[in-house]
Copies of this chain bind each other. A is one copy, B any other.
């Protein structure tokens, strides 16, 4: 069921403005050699007719192809695997849109290597999305890339003082605060200690979550105090050990917040202790594991950042930047999702 339904074309604008198609085209594409007065006539016609260029036609005519590169961490926790998969889907979806995506994986925790990888991308890509370590060397590499005319966005973890065009990801301080408020309220007025399982402070996002969390617990739940016993390095087994120590060594433990990956290990430790139901456990990233943990009642809430949204948003932002099109800021904001047992998607 389709009908031609003549829409307004450049042709119509030209006629309305009393100029030739060529001139109308010159005006719309900002080419030189048109009198100011004529420019205004054309613009007035555009406004009067409500002309919107046909994007499909424009893209076709331009025949531009944008080349994007996504740089993700090699050491793959579940979230990063999800993200990589979503980037794959985004790439697929972009094939119909004059753009394609290459995916590169590097050891993000090695600033030198990450920086060198980034430097190599200049000239080979029009846009780069990178899960970046906030390190001077990396920041410089990003700035160089931008200097070389490449659009750069940071993904998941930001490098605030760099020249990146955009940060696609959640506000991790707010995420930490969210976890704290939920944990505090779920604890229901009990007082005691809340265990903090930190991943690694290397990526900025973890440090920020931790900051936000402590801030709220300290400031708003006078009955609670934060204790941390060791890092998980985002590994399941390490996380399990840390959780186990918390459960056994902290007598007044009321809850537990895992900043990074390894929720499954923590769930194991809690269930082994027999206190899974009574302890409040909040972590990040909705995966098969955390979903099951929520349903079993081991976890009480999961803070999530949607990998698919971030991947698509990064692509949209990069393309808009490349093509010089405007983007709807509002729509590109990544939300901090809260999942409990009842609102699982």
Residues of A within 8 A of B (CB): 1-5, 7, 50, 52-57, 59-60, 62-67, 89, 95-98, 126, 149-150, 174-175, 177-178, 180-182, 185-189, 212, 216, 300, 308, 322, 328, 330-331, 333, 335-343, 345
Q: Which are the 6 A-B pairs with shortest beta-carbon distances?
A: A188-B188, A2-B64, A336-B343, A55-B96, A177-B342, A338-B338
Contact B60 A57 (CB under 8 A): yes
Give min CB distance, A316 to chain B, whole Å: 12
Report the minimum CB–CB distance from A7 to chain B (whole Å).
Answer: 6
Q: How far is the CB of A218 from chain B (nearest CB, A)?
A: 14
Residue pair B174, A67 in contact (C-beta under 8 Å): no
Q: Report the Cα distance A322→B1, complex, angstroms.
A: 7
A62: which of B2, B150, B177 is its contact (CB, 8 Å)? B2
Contacts of A60 in B (CB 8 A): 54, 56-57, 60
How many of these chains are in the complex?
Answer: 2
Pick from B188, B212, B337: contact of A189, CB under 8 Å? B188
CA distance A126 to B1 in the complex (A): 7
Q: Which of these, B56, B67, B126, B308, contacts A59 with CB under 8 Å?
A: B56
Q: State whether A331 touches B308 (Cβ < 8 A).
A: yes
Neighbouring B residues of A54 by C-beta, 8 Å: 60, 96, 98
**Which residues from chain B contact A189 at a C-beta distance below 8 Å?**
188-189
Q: Which residue among A89, A95, A328 has the maximum number of chain B CB atoms within 10 Å of its CB?
A: A95
Let me know if A97 and B55 touch, CB within 8 A: yes
Partner of A65, one of B2, B98, B340: B2
Out of B3, B55, B185, name the residue touching A185 (CB < 8 Å): B185
Given A66-B2, A342-B216, also A96-B53 (CB < 8 A): yes
**Chain B residues with CB below 8 A from A328, complex form:** 89
Task: Quote the shortest CB–CB distance from A144 to chain B (angstroms).
Answer: 16
**A345 and B322 contact, Cβ closer than 8 Å, known pairs A65-B3, A96-B52:** no
Nearest chain-B residue to A7 (Cβ)? Answer: B65
Our pick among B5, B95, B343 for the contact of A335 (Cβ within 8 Å) is: B343
User: From A177, which residue of chain B is reached at the shortest CB distance?
Assistant: B342
Q: Is the CB of A126 within 8 A of B2?
A: yes
B181 and A340 contacting across the interface, CB-CB below 8 Å: yes
Q: Smallest distance from the beta carbon of A10 to chain B beta carbons, Å?
A: 13
A336 to B343, CA, bound (A): 6
A65 shortest CB reach to chain B, Å: 4
A115 to chain B, nearest CB (A): 22
Q: Could you tell me the distance between the alpha carbons of A314 and B42 in the complex, rounded to whole angstroms?
A: 35
The residue of chain B having its C-beta at the shortest distance from the C-beta of A304 within the complex is B335
The 28 listed contacts between A and B (C-beta, < 8 Å) are A1-B126, A2-B66, A2-B322, A3-B64, A3-B65, A4-B63, A4-B65, A7-B65, A53-B96, A55-B97, A56-B59, A56-B60, A56-B98, A60-B60, A89-B328, A174-B343, A177-B342, A182-B340, A185-B186, A185-B300, A186-B186, A188-B189, A308-B330, A335-B337, A335-B343, A335-B345, A336-B343, A338-B338
